[in-house]
Amino acid sequence: MRIEEDIKLDFKDVLIRPKRSTLRSRADVNLTREYTFLHPNQKWQGVPIIASNMDHTGTFAMAKALAQHKLLTAIHKFATLNEWKTFAQKNRSSLPHVFVTAGSNTADFKNLCTIIKATNCPNICLDIANGYSQHFVDLVKKVRHTFPKKVIMAGNVVTGEMTEELILSGADIVKIGIGPGSVCITRKKTGVGYPQLSAIIECADAAHGLRGLVCADGGCTTSGDIAKAFAAGADFVMLGGMLAGHDECDGEVFVADDGQSYKRFYGMSSAEAMFKYHGKIADYRASEGKSINIPYRGTVEQTILDILGGVRSACTYVGARRLKELSKCTTFIRVTQQLNEIFTSFEVNN
């Protein structure tokens, strides 16, 4: 056992310091980025925000709505082949903005191959809670060998050395985050995790040295958090809770005892998700997610515009004309414990 004593930071621990800017308006900020992915040498252009591969947010309806703004969606792994075929036939132009999600077992790999063959979707998301296992590294190598021209996003991890391992094994984008999500209780259940801002900074540094990319996955509750993630070096930011509760999310709207309308939202390692898809919680594991009711929010359109407006505004405060420049223009300042508590209280009450 050893203890690392250097400071590790989360989104709530910092603010972005404003700087003089020549930008006249938020409209002057360009949020579009273009990437050339390492292994397939394929290009992609769009706004690098991704709807999470949870069954509420990683839906085809969400994909259609986000693709209109050049955002991405990681479709959840329980989507059927027929659903994929229908989407691909009717929304061919949206395919560059979606990922096929797969887990790490044999059935997941077979299903991935079937969907890719049927749709020719260019992007793959390999998703596992613990990206440190050797069998996951082997899976990344296997998928890269099978699909040499596809873009592969894989995770989750939180340290530089494992980010490098996944990139060298065939991943183009590495998902960063263990436990920061709003419906994830991994940190409470296992004691394992890493403050998300520091994880992004350290993993981005490791990835960029190998010409790989990182996706900050979890912990963003406001557009300011998204801006901080990009400022810390994230190439993509994945959102779950911020996109939950909309018409495009799976699940019915219901009226609770307080008279308000809600939609259900739960972690994919929650008891609710495991009973829904597997009929039980396996004897060898425990639930690492929770279930909550999210206030019903209508269509996702206004939320998208609000998020993009917030990130543009952050760019204007530091003089970043393009999203690509935000990390180069950013100086983070640590906030005091008292201010940190104010932020936490504000988030809880709102």
Give the type of residue at 194: Y
Nearest CA to 36 among 210, 176, 172? 172
Nearest CA to 70 among 51, 87, 49? 49
Q: DSSP H helical segments within 218-267, as ranges?
A: 223-231
| CB contact at 8 A, 76 and 54 | yes
Within a 13 Å sphere around the CA of 315, how many CA atoms are in the beta-carbon half? Answer: 25
Q: Dig out the tokens for 41 from the structure.
A: 């040498």
Instruction: Give catalytic residue positions.
Output: 184, 186
Within a 13 Å sphere around the CA of 235, how many CA atoms are in the beta-carbon half? Answer: 23
Q: DSSP H helical segments within 20-132, as ranges?
A: 60-67, 81-90, 106-119
Strand 49-51 vs strand 236-239: parallel, antiparallel, or unpaired?
A: parallel
Query: What's the maximum distance between 2 C-alpha atoms anywhere in the chain?
Result: 60
- Classified as helix, coil or strand, 238 is strand
Within a 13 Å sphere around the CA of 108, how many CA atoms are in the beta-carbon half? Answer: 19
